[in-house]
Each structure stands twice: as structure tokens, then as C-alpha cells.
Amino acid sequence: MGIISNVLGIVAEYNPFHNGHVYQLQQAKQQAKADLTIIVMSGNWVQRGEPALLDKWQRTKLALSGGADLVVELPFQFAVEPAHLFAQGAVQLLSMLGCNRLAFGAEHPELDFEALVANQPTDASSHFKRFDETYPTLFNDYLQAQTGLNLRASNDILGFSYVAANQRLAQPLKMIPIQRRGSAHQDTGIERGTTIASGAAIRKAVKAGEWTVINQMVPADTARALRKEQLISWTDYWPYLRYQLLVSSLADLHDIYQMSEGIEYRLKQAALVSATFEDFLWAAKTKRFTYARLQRLCVYILLQVNRVALPTELRYARVLGFNSAGQQHLNRVKKASKLPLISRVTDDWINGPFRLDYQAGLMRQMLSGVDQDRLQHAVIESS
């Protein structure tokens, strides 16, 4: 393959892999002059606290067929977290995998992300004592007052978080913002005549069975997977979550990771009166808590993640899939990095550093009947 000089990293969820992701991959490779492309991808749970529609192995196969060379899982400890912690883990992992470029989609790629990072509050908790707005709203209001720049779009916020995390690296990566095409990240509508829509809009269309529309928005491989594979949503997990909420004491709920401000009382009461997960979120919602924050709490409750269970250091890289170029790069990384690269899950890893990721996969396995940690061979063979 020759000497690798430009190793491109992309942080993704691919929930599901759609035409917008194809466009971003093509643009990122071109602008980075990439010799190799590494995807750090969320596993079976994504950043906003939702189960991925397709499992991590199905999404890995789609990423490889879409142009990725290597796909590595973002550990659960970072994958289901607010943007700054999500970005911290992902950027650090890309750096340790040998990337020197990072591309990300942004609604406004022309934003001066460095200026925004330079003007963020040094102690955010001391600035935002109001309880009539969510933390992201207060944070963005502060930045806009300091810089005149508006940081409210979902991908812009992630871009800001990537830039902030990148600046903390000993050897920062070259940042490449890519103009996002189509609807905004959380828009659920699909414009007539377009071939690019948000993941949220596509998931809504899948739920409604609008396959003619879906076929226009995703690659053929994704369309086949969405029709063939078992799809998972919060509806499937709701009975398990509701049970946990109803049988757990308030003291036990209070000990769940990121539980704060007495929200456990509201969550327990909402579970008593709600027949569906959507009803539950509506009943639990407050001005202080975003839906994403509530959903992340629900994941922690479902998996029984307590305040001391979530480590903050990056301890391993779980390899999900690769092609021949990705395999060659992995061999180089193994020689140069002290970070353990997991390609086969052993009992020692399941009972040790990999425990939370294993739990997250086990919950999905209970619903699908598909062993979530024994599928890598099939993924690699198909790439």
C-alpha cells in the first residue's frame, strides 16, 4: 500500500447509513487527500440515548461498503454522553489510531470554532444556575453573548466539541468541517425531490413503512438491511425500562449515573402513568432537561450504570471491521501504540474493561436473539 501520510478520521453513528453520509465520506476523503479512512462509530446505543436502528455489525458492513477502511467502536463510556464527553473519547481514540485529519459535518462550516472554544466559560457550573432553561440553551446563550456567533445547530455543537477536544491533544489533528447537505440533524420531514434527508427523518419513514421514499434516501445496501434485519427502538425496551423504574427505590435511582436535581421522582411517577415510551418522555420532560438527556438517563437505568461504574479514561479500542488496507494499518498501530486493540472478546475482557459494552450488546441480544459479540468474522469476510 505504500507510505501512509494522510489518515482521515470520522466520528459517526450511521443510524442508518444514508446518502448524506456517502456525500460526507466522498467530500472528506477529497479534502483530506486521504490515503486511509477510519470511522469511530457508536455501538448499539447512540449519543442522544437511543438504540441504534440496526446493530453495530450491520452498520459496520454498510460503512465498509460505503468507503471506510477501518471501523472501530466508540466505547459505551463515551458513546452515550453529552457532546463534550462524546467528542473527548472519539477524538482521543482517532488520535491513538494514527489519524492526523478529522472531518465532521456542520450546518455552518464557516463558523470560527476556535473563537467559540476560546470564549467558553472556564467553570460552566458556576454560570448556569437558572432552572427555567436547559443547560445547552444557557451555554449557547453565553457563547453568543461573548462572540456574537450562534451555536445552536446539532452538528455545529458537535463540531465545536471536536475542536475543543482536539485542542487538548498533544498533537492536534487537522480539522475539516464539511457542509451538511439536506435537512438539519433532527428534522423529521423529507422534502419532495431530494435524495438526502436526516437520519431522524429516515427513521420516521422506516417506522411508517414508506419504502419508496426510503429507497431514494439511502444506498441500496442500507435499504436491503432495513427491510431484512430486525430493527430495534425504545418501544422494544420500554417494558424492561418501566420495570426497572417501578421496582427500583428512589435511593437506588438516585445512585444512577448522571441522575441529578431530583429527576428520579419525576421519572418514577411518569413510569406509573405512561403506557408507551413516548408518553413517558412527555410526562417526564421539564424545562431543565432535554429529551436527549432524559433518554441517556433511561439508558443508564436500563443497564444499571451507577455513579462509580463509568470510567473516564480510554482503555481499549474494539475493532468492528476492516478491509485489507485497514488491516495493514491495524498492524502498524499495534506496533506503535500501547492502546489494546480488541478483535476477539474473551471472558477476561467481558468481566473487566469491556463490561459496559458487553452489557449494552447483551440487552440487544435479548431482543434479537443474535449474539452481539460473535459476529465480527462475518463482517470482515464480507468487506
C-alpha cell at 364: 440487544
> Measured between alpha carbons, how far is 193 from 298 in angstroms, rounded to an integer?
37
Q: Give 233 or 350, the one with higher predicted confidence.
A: 233
Report H helices in the chain. 19-32, 56-65, 76-79, 83-96, 113-118, 124-127, 135-147, 154-167, 199-208, 211-217, 220-228, 234-247, 250-254, 263-273, 277-284, 291-302, 324-336, 347-350, 355-368, 376-382
Q: Binding site residues for ATP, as ranges?
A: 11-24, 105, 155, 180
Q: What is the DSSP letter of 101?
A: E
Q: Measured over all CA atoms, what is the biggest interatomic distance in the chain, rounded to whole angstroms?
A: 62
C-alpha cell at 237: 425496551
Least confident of 7-11, 301-305, 375-379: 375-379
Q: Is pLDDT above 50 for 1?
A: no
pLDDT in tens, 230-244: 999 999 999 999 999
Stated as kind and residue range, the H or E segment containing 287 is none
Residues near 228 by beta carbon (within 8 Å), at least 6 away in sequence = none
Q: Kindly indicate the confidence band of residue 148, based on its pLDDT and cuts at 50, 70 and 90.
A: confident
Give DSSP secondary structure letters for 310-338.
Answer: ---S---EEEEEE-HHHHHHHHHHHHH--
pLDDT in tens, 182-209: 655 455 567 777 899 999 999 999 999 9
pTM (predicted TM-score): 0.91
- What is the pLDDT, as a whole number, of residue 146? 81
Q: What is the CA radius of gyration of the chain?
A: 20
Q: Give 383 or 363, the one with higher predicted confidence.
A: 363
301: Cα within 13 Å, side-chain hemisphere: 31
The answer to whether 116 and 108 are in contact (CB under 8 A) is: no
Q: Is pLDDT above 70 for 211?
A: yes
- What is the pLDDT, as a whole number, of residue 351? 85
Average pLDDT over residues 165-171: 95
**Residue 290 to residues 133, 136, 218, 286, Cα–Cα distance (Å):** 9, 9, 29, 8
Mean pLDDT rounded to a whole number for the chain: 89
Q: Kindly indicate the confidence band of residue 348, based on its pLDDT and cuts at 50, 70 and 90.
A: confident
B/e letters for 83-93, b = 16+ CB within 10 Å, e = fewer, are: bbbbbbbbbbb
Q: Binding site residues, as ranges?
A: 11-24, 105, 155, 180
